[in-house]
Amino acid sequence: MLRYLASWKNLAGCTGGLIGLLLHFAGFAGSYWLLVVVGLYGVGALAASPERIILVTAPEEEASLLRTELDALVLRVRGLNVPTEVPPKLAEIAEVLRGMLDRPRELRADPDALHAVTRLVGTDLPLSVQTYLNLPWWYAAARGSGAELVRQLDLLHADAVRVAERFHAADVQRQADHTRYLEDRD
């Protein structure tokens, strides 16, 4: 009950009810003012967008879903008629992304990296590949779309590497610190 009182639906309904009261005091609602107030409350409550329920999944489950999506794309591209440079480039990108997906708790703790990996796996890579595949082969060949896809994959690879470098920076620093510690210990 308290959740509903603080919801957007109730607030929109109250706004509608308030408008109904204003109509009554202005003399437009007549003797049916109560029905107008209740009706406008209902209209406001029904018109408001529902509360979004955010499902919190375990980091391992989230990473597993992303990995499955990534692996499916890599496997799918291997069986398609794409330029010969595409499958190896896509496999390189996938390898970089898997390095982060293999550490789901750390990935969840880094919202920027998680967003970037989710965007790369869920939007950028599939969009690049599917846009190329939507073109007829003769049109893609005439327009040089294969080279465009390779260029897109190069850009996405650079993006994935930048994200991975930021993601693994703490481990690199920890390794360097440990090396200094071992050298100083002697």
Q: Which long-range contacts (CB under 8 A, 24 or more apart) does 147-151 make?
A: 147/83, 149/82, 149/83, 149/86, 150/83, 150/85, 150/86, 150/89
User: Does residue 144 lie within any of the structural domains?
Assistant: yes
Residue 54 located in a structural domain: no
pLDDT by residue for the chain (186 residues), tens only, comes to 777 787 888 889 999 999 989 988 998 888 888 999 999 999 988 988 777 655 557 888 888 899 999 999 999 998 888 888 999 999 999 999 999 999 999 988 898 999 999 999 999 999 999 988 888 878 777 887 788 899 999 999 999 999 999 999 888 888 988 999 988 986
For residues 40 and 63, state if they share a domain.
no
DSSP letters along 17-56, please?
HHHHHHHHHHTSSGGGHHHHHHHHHHHHHHHSPPPPPPPP
Residues 23 and 114 occupy one common structural domain: no
- The number of folded domains in the chain is 2
pTM of the predicted structure, to 2 decimals: 0.65
Q: Is residue 15 part of a domain?
A: yes
Q: Do both 37 and 71 map to the same domain?
A: no
Same domain, 16 and 99: no
Domain of 145 in residue numbering reads as 59-184
Answer yes or no: do 43 and 70 share one domain. no
Instruction: Please indicate, yes or no, whether residues 72 and 127 belong to a single structural domain of this protein.
Output: yes
Distances (CA, A) of 113 to 74, 126, 147, 151, 184: 21, 19, 28, 23, 34
Element (H, E) at 107: helix 104-109
